[in-house]
Structure 1
């Protein structure tokens, strides 16, 4: 993960991280596809740490895609707003589901204001709606000066 060719395929424009390479969950796995999205953060000096104790779990394509899109939103926000030195991505099996956690040590924000969407937070709200429609849950934990943790849990049943 994190080879030079992956850096060439991932770009950040207008605060949105985009992977120009077609998604290939079968070859790269979900973690590999998400890791490609971390390239712009690494280029900006953020150390990216992985914790993926989910090996061997079959993740349906629609769940993998939703987790990938959720990671893209969380990582785009971290790149644009957090000024983080360290970022951790965790992908783990939980009771009858899969959980994605993206956590950074950046500037943080008032998560209550962000999800109300009055001035910002539309990406987080749209992510929450999509995850809830799939039967999952989203937890956004952040406060100014204390970093951010975004947790997305989807059922696998």
Structure 2
């Protein structure tokens, strides 16, 4: 059975760079004074102190490692372990004082690693007050400040550092996700460009090849002319594919209209092309050029039309392209087709693309873009 990797947010941070449970282990050296007291016989009932030290260290290690995994950090068992750690710390500090008071800053570290959000400040403030009160009981007023501030600051600084580390990790994951999205977007762009380029070019090559085959028996010179056109179209297609790969293709609408007129004529469809209005921006010309290319390709392939009209008009607010044929009313607006991809492209530029049966007969494609897209 294949194992599914856990989400990145549910994994402990790696040992390189980002903090992890090992980062908080060296602070256990604060308890070496208590260990020294036990071995030097300065602790009454040393076996109780040793047992308490063992329980404290075990709970502390468990908590700090669980704190770096969001799923276990927020688990009730971790909160219970933290509460038990606090009770053990309080009992040891009340019983022995002296070096045992330094377990309060360690408790602050564990608390800062676990508690998040609006509860962090009140919890750490209350914990610091308890630590200060216990220190006052054993050391008087002179021993309060170090334990009180040490407990409070250890928790707040730990929480701040870990929150910053988690934010950095999330930013890295976001950057990786954006990179993956950019790759997917580029793949989509290339697939659309390749579809539009090859679909149109191959359709024209097929039409011209059929024309050359039909007229070759009676007019070889005309057939050779068609073959020369096929060679020219193939060479131009290679250039356009290279431009599409590098992402620099900016199709001129005028060139696309000329190619559409030639392709329709070669297919036996009478073209009618009209254009009015001010010059358009390169981006708008490129988008409308793709629509012309795809729609004319569909008309040649599917419509069986005798006439195809292409009208481009630019007004103050909208730029409108209408392509209408008088064929059988068969279009290519199904999901996954070229027109669907072009619809997404125009929508990204604030425009629309609609395809469907013409009012009387045939198929019509209407593309619109906002006029501000026409400003260079």
Whether these two folds match at TM > 0.5 is: yes
Note if 1:41 corresponds to 2:264.
yes
1:154 maps to which of 361, 366, 369: 369
Alpha-carbon spacing, 1:40–1:148, altered in 2? closer, same or farther (3 Å): same
Following superposition, the deviation at residue 156 of structure 1 comes to 2.3
Alpha-carbon spacing, 1:102–1:16, altered in 2? closer, same or farther (3 Å): farther
1:89 maps to which of 310, 313, 321: 310
1:123 maps to which of 293, 313, 338: 338
Q: Which residue of 2 aligns with 1:12?
A: 201
- Contact 2:310 2:324 (8 Å CA) reproduced: yes
Q: Which residue of 2 aligns with 1:70?
A: 291
| 1:33 partner SS | helix
- Contact 2:272 2:309 (8 Å CA) reproduced: yes
Following superposition, the deviation at residue 16 of structure 1 comes to 8.8
Alpha-carbon spacing, 1:81–1:15, altered in 2? closer, same or farther (3 Å): farther
Q: Which residue of 1 aligns with 2:355?
A: 140
Partner Cα distance (1:106, 1:24) in 2 = 27
Partner Cα distance (1:126, 1:88) in 2 = 22
Tell which has more relative contact order, 1 or 2 (C-alpha 8 A, sep 6+). Answer: 1
| 1:146 partner SS | coil
Following superposition, the deviation at residue 15 of structure 1 comes to 7.1
Partner Cα distance (1:123, 1:116) in 2 = 9
Partner Cα distance (1:153, 1:45) in 2 = 28
Partner Cα distance (1:134, 1:16) in 2 = 32
List gaps (5 residues or longer) in structure 1: 1-10
Looking at secondary structure, tell me which structure has more helix per residue. Answer: 2
**Runs of 4+ displaced beyond 4 Å:** 14-19, 21-24
* TM-align CA RMSD: 2.8
Q: CA-to-partner distance for each residue in 1:16-40, whole Å, 9 max, x for gaps?
A: 9978287674xxxx33432222312
Q: CA-to-partner distance for each residue in 1:33-58, whole Å, 9 max, x for gaps?
A: 3222231210121100122222xx13
List gaps (5 residues or longer) in structure 2: 1-199, 207-232, 241-249
Q: Max radius of gyration: which structure?
A: 2
- Contact 1:15 1:80 (8 Å CA) reproduced: no
Note if 1:104 corresponds to 2:325.
yes
Partner Cα distance (2:299, 2:334) in 1 = 19
Number of equivalences = 134
TM-score (norm 2): 0.32
